[in-house]
Amino acid sequence: MTTLHNLGYPRIGDDRQLKRAIESYWKEQLSETQLLEVGKQIRQQNWQIQKDAGIELLPVGDFAWYDHILQLALTFNVIPERHRHSEPTTPLQQLFEMARGASRCCTNHAALEMTKWFDTNYHYLVPELSAEQTFTLQYSPLLEQIDEAKGLNVPIKAVLIGPLTFLYLGRLANGDKLNLLPALLAGYRQLFDAIAAKGVEWVQIDEPILTLELSEPWQEALASAYQHLAKSPVKLLLTSYFGDVTLSLEQIATWPIDGIHLDLVRGFEQLNQALQVWPKNKVLSCGVVDGRNVWRADMKKWISQLQPAQKKWGDQLWLAPSCSLLHCPVNIEREEHLDSELRSWLSFAKQKLSELVAIGHYVDGRADHCDSHWLAQSQQVVEARVQSPRVINSVIRKRVVSLTESAFTRQHSYAIRQKVQKEALNLPLLPTTTIGSFPQTRAIRQQRTALRQGQLSQADYDTFIASQIDEVITCQEQLGLDVLVHGEPERNDMVEYFAPLLNGVAQTQYGWVQSYGTRCVKPPIIFGDVSRPAPMTVRWSQYAQSRTTKPVKGMLTGPQTILGWSFVRSDLPRADVADQIALALRDEVSDLEQAGIHLIQIDEPALREGLPLRRSQWPEYLHRAVRSFRLTASVAQDTTQIHTHMCYSEFNDIIASIADMDADVITIETSRSAMKLLDAFELFDYPNEIGPGVYDIHSPVVPQPQWIEKLLTLASKKIPVERLWVNPDCGLKTRDWPETLASLQVMVDVARKLRKEFQQPAH
Ligand SMILES: CN1c2c(nc(N)[nH]c2=O)NC[C@@H]1CNc1ccc(C(=O)N[C@@H](CCC(=O)N[C@@H](CCC(=O)N[C@@H](CCC(=O)O)C(=O)O)C(=O)O)C(=O)O)cc1
Ligand SMILES: N[C@@H](CCS)C(=O)O
Ligand SMILES: [Zn+2]
């Protein structure tokens, strides 16, 4: 019989209980014991849901506090020197300090760097490794959770990230990370022994780096690591996802592991390859339900496609979603406002398990009436989506195909634009600005909730938003910032905000997905052709500009970012969807200009994360991504200064494309990496203006002036000071007001001081 299993279930809880509990704990409104209890309840609930759905091998270890990579680092005692201190702390306190940073005795114990988890909108904390790193088992929530799960009376498998992925994602200042592998493997062996001692047979060992184009040393390291780990007393299910392993599957088949998981949604051709090369006596786990999107599965297709696999592997065939369901909203049943047609097209984590189970039962010939219900619905949906008239808008399709080259190019080159903009804007050296959002306070969120629940009129809500903008404008004037923003109080999220304003895009009420730590997002669902029925941002930008004589930057989310942070239709190439979004935004740029906004920021933080995992596919992606940005921006007059903003991005290998976007100013996140990310701009001789972030907005710690001064001085050695801007790393929405004001004041004061110093003639 086929084994039905799951790689991971959303850990936030069906009502974001984890977020609320951790944030209450941080505010000292919840004790650690109470917090631990919330974690336990979520895990129990998740296991129960999976068990009830018919999952036969439950994942244990998919739950993590804040981040699973951080938790694994702490498991092996990988703690940077600055976070080691004599004050007694619990592992959880230690973990949160590494995640959020701390300030003790005027010293900044900076948080670990945070970056994108492969091509997802999830962010992990980068383990900091040292050349003498040891990996000793010192904290093992996994072992505790195994004990917890035993009461369920369902077989379990332990889940953890594999050693090569852990090393690959970690950072070692000097030296070759692979030198640390033997010590790390000893740590894993220790952990496996402990897992086996608890009677657990299988370990799901996630190595998503298998889907990358790895260099030879890493490929060799993988092979030798699994030779070594196979001596452990547990069975290993080597788990790949987010892409295919076609380049190495034949070789992996020779490793002494017990099974492999393949993401057939991202790489269906792997099934045929597996049929050729994967041994009959080893488990083949097929990832068949899309863990990265929300569309209902084409079950009939899967059932027929899996028949040959069932024949070859029999009991050794396992079925699972393509990847962990961490990246999926939890439960469609909660949605009350989606129209019934659209709703019928969708499947969230809980429903995906039922789809998977029904597929498995059909493959085995053990389907019951519940499975046939799922199959009938699936067939109906697959046909209905293809035929639905609401997914095609012929006006938009025509507009896209009739675009000519001039739509992608600004009127004049940057050199000419720079001159006219300097004259028009008259900004000082080292102009100061922010990235857009100001604190999204409880009061703002409550007003929005009241509006949503009908307890507040639209007019009263609008009055409230206007008053927030007034406050943000006054604060910025008092702080002495040079380019102001309206603060984005009307936006629940930089992507979600646009969803109800665009045709072809739907928004869920409860479709939360973890983005990092306690922060979640509700990705919009792009189901049809995208168009803009009316201006989306003009009203509040124009209002903000009317309240000040200083320039106010308009604020848009760019096409790649709306695309990347949404669930996207599967019946049109993503690049074509991006062009439709770009056209809607292009019209918005025009309208903002006409409303008297002379600086417009088009945020593209998701541009880099959208890069295909295979480098060979980068050029095509970058070409289209840059073009869609240019399609948005190129309508602007020379006098309009186009900004873009990117965070969590490395630029070394894409700097030519960044330059090709031709934004007048780019602001980037650089503070956590101590301006290292600027190297790419320096080396490339990046021609336009740059605002390297001078303080970390993810941490509540107020930066010391000397830290900012040091960073700016470093930046001025890499980029001519005439082309430097001064700004935080990213938006301030997650921060509280006191630290925001204090931090911005430090930033403005340092900028003013350095401005004077740089303006003094050299002796
Ligand atoms: C810049 N980033 C973003 C990413 N992706 C996005 N889609 N958006 C981004 O900004 N990716 C990379 C980075 C980092 N990621 C994030 C992600 C999420 C947040 C964040 O602050 N999230 C908030 C939720 C924001 C939101 O939707 N707010 C709504 C609803 C608020 C709410 O919870 N309301 C309560 C009731 C109100 C109350 O009593 O407090 C409720 O519904 O129960 C809104 O404002 O209306 C989060 O809290 O997780 C930041 C960076
Ligand atoms: N304008 C957005 C960008 C975040 S990446 C903000 O300030 O929150
Ligand atoms: Zn940002």
In tens, the pLDDT along 362-381 reads 999 999 999 999 999 999 99
Do 182 and 85 touch, CB atoms closer than 8 A?
no
Q: For residue 238, what are the β-bridge partners?
A: 205, 260
**Do 434 and 342 belong together in one domain?**
no
**Do 573 and 683 belong together in one domain?**
yes
- Token pair recorded at residue 414: 């940057």
**Do 353 and 488 belong together in one domain?**
no
- Whether residue 418 is contained in a domain is answered as yes
Cβ–ligand 2 distance for 70 under 6 Å, the answer: no
Binding residues for L-methionine: 435-437, 488, 603
**Do 541 and 409 belong together in one domain?**
yes
Choosing from 346, 362, 387, the residue where a domain stops is 387
- Whether residue 393 is contained in a domain is answered as no
The string of pLDDT tens digits covering residues 284-339 is: 999 999 999 999 999 999 999 999 999 999 999 999 999 999 999 999 999 999 99
Say what the pLDDT of residue 763 is. Answer: 52
pTM: 0.95
Cβ–ligand 2 distance for 521 under 6 Å, the answer: no
Report the 10 Å Cβ neighbour count for 169.
Answer: 21
**Do 486 and 584 belong together in one domain?**
yes
- Whether residue 655 is contained in a domain is answered as yes
The DSSP letter of residue 296 is P
**Do 157 and 292 belong together in one domain?**
yes
The string of pLDDT tens digits covering residues 135-190 is: 999 999 999 999 999 888 899 999 999 999 999 999 999 999 999 999 999 999 99
Binding residues for 5-methyltetrahydropteroyltri-L-glutamate: 116, 519-520, 565, 609
Say what the pLDDT of residue 102 is. Answer: 82
**Do 203 and 112 belong together in one domain?**
yes
**Do 69 and 101 belong together in one domain?**
yes
For residue 434, the ligand 2 atom closest to its alpha carbon is: 7
Cβ–ligand 2 distance for 557 under 6 Å, the answer: no
- Token pair recorded at residue 10: 């959303």
**Do 669 and 522 belong together in one domain?**
yes
Do 79 and 94 touch, CB atoms closer than 8 A?
yes
Cβ–ligand 2 distance for 605 under 6 Å, the answer: yes
- Whether residue 528 is contained in a domain is answered as yes
Binding residues for L-homocysteine: 435-437, 488, 603
Of 466, 478, 576, 588, which Cα lies nearest the Cα of 530? 576
C-alpha pair distances (Å), 432 with each of 232, 240, 480, 571, 573: 57, 45, 8, 44, 39
Say what the pLDDT of residue 105 is. Answer: 63
39: left (phi over 0), alpha (psi -120 to 50) or beta: alpha
Q: How many domains does the chain have?
A: 2
**Do 308 and 432 belong together in one domain?**
no
- Token pair recorded at residue 283: 């488990």
The alpha carbon dihedral of 58, 59, 65, 67 has a sign of: negative
Task: Give the mutation target among 646, 730, 733, 740 for probing the ligand 2 site: most ligand atoms within 8 A of CB.
Answer: 730
User: Is the confidence at residue 762, as pLDDT, over 70?
Assistant: no
Q: Is 698 considered catalytic here?
A: yes
The residue whose two tokens read 């204090």 is 742
- Whether residue 763 is contained in a domain is answered as no
Least confidently predicted of 362-371, 418-427, 584-593, 672-681: 672-681
**Do 170 and 48 belong together in one domain?**
yes
User: Residue 71 class from Cβ within 10 Å (0-12 exposed, 13-18 middle, 19+ buried)?
Assistant: buried
C-alpha pair distances (Å), 550 with each of 468, 481, 597, 727: 18, 9, 11, 16
Helix 574-594 crosses helix 538-546 at what angle (to 10 degrees)? 30
Residue 249 is part of which domain span? 3-326+338-387
d(CA 307, CA 400): 41
- Whether residue 490 is contained in a domain is answered as yes
C-alpha 316 to ligand 2 mean position (Å): 48
- Whether residue 448 is contained in a domain is answered as no
Q: Which of 123, 361, 598, 698 is catalytic?
A: 698
- Whether residue 466 is contained in a domain is answered as no
Cβ–ligand 2 distance for 494 under 6 Å, the answer: yes
pLDDT mean across residues, the chain:
96
CATH of residue 19: 3.20.20.210
d(CA 60, CA 47): 9
**Do 366 and 408 belong together in one domain?**
no
